[in-house]
Amino acid sequence: MRTRGTKTARPWLWRGAAGIFVLILLELPFILYATGFGAEGMLASLGITGLGEASHLLRDGAPATNIAMFLHMGLGGLLSLLAPLQLSGALRRCRPRLHRGLGRVIVPLALTTSVAGLAYILLRGTIGGSLMDLGFGLYGLLLGLAAIMTWRFARAGDFQRHRAWALRLIVLALASWIYRLHYTFWTLATGGLYSRPDFTGLFDQIQLFAFYLPYLALLELYLRLRPAPSLTPPR
Rounded CA gap, 175 and 213, in Å? 9
Rounded CA gap, 42 and 63, in Å? 10
Cβ proximity to ligand HEM, 80 vs 88, nearer residue: 80
Contact residue for ligand HEM among 117, 164, 169, 207 (CB under 6 A)? 117
Residue 129 · residue 44 · CB < 8 Å = no
Cβ at position 132, least distance to ligand HEM in Å: 7
Sign of the C-alpha dihedral computed for residues 180, 186, 191 and 197 taken in this order: negative
Rounded CA gap, 150 and 138, in Å? 18
Rounded CA gap, 14 and 55, in Å? 43
Rounded CA gap, 225 and 114, in Å? 30
Contact residue for ligand HEM among 70, 120, 151, 203 (CB under 6 A)? 120
Buried b (16+ CB within 10 A) or exposed e, 41-71: bbebbeeeeeeeeeeebbeeeeeebbbbbbb
In the region spanning residues 74 to 93, those forming contacts with ligand HEM, defined by CB under 6 A, are 76-77, 79-80
Please report, in angstroms and rounded to a whole number, the separation of the first and last CA atoms in the chain.
25
Stretch that binds ligand HEM, among 91-99, 112-120, 189-197, 208-216 (CB under 6 A): 112-120
Q: How many residues belong to the site for ligand HEM (CB under 6 A)? A: 23
122 binds ligand HEM per the rule CB under 6 A: no
Site string for ligand HEM, 142-181 (x = CB under 6 A): -x-----------------------------x--x-----
Cβ at position 140, least distance to ligand HEM in Å: 2
Contact residue for ligand HEM among 32, 64, 127, 193 (CB under 6 A)? 127
Cβ proximity to ligand HEM, 77 vs 103, nearer residue: 77
Residue number closest to ligand HEM, CB atom:
140
In the region spanning residues 18 to 37, those forming contacts with ligand HEM, defined by CB under 6 A, are 34, 37
Residues 6+ apart with CB under 8 A from 181: none
Interface with ligand HEM (CB under 6 A): 34, 37, 57, 72-73, 76-77, 79-80, 113-114, 117-118, 120-121, 126-127, 136, 139-140, 143, 173, 176
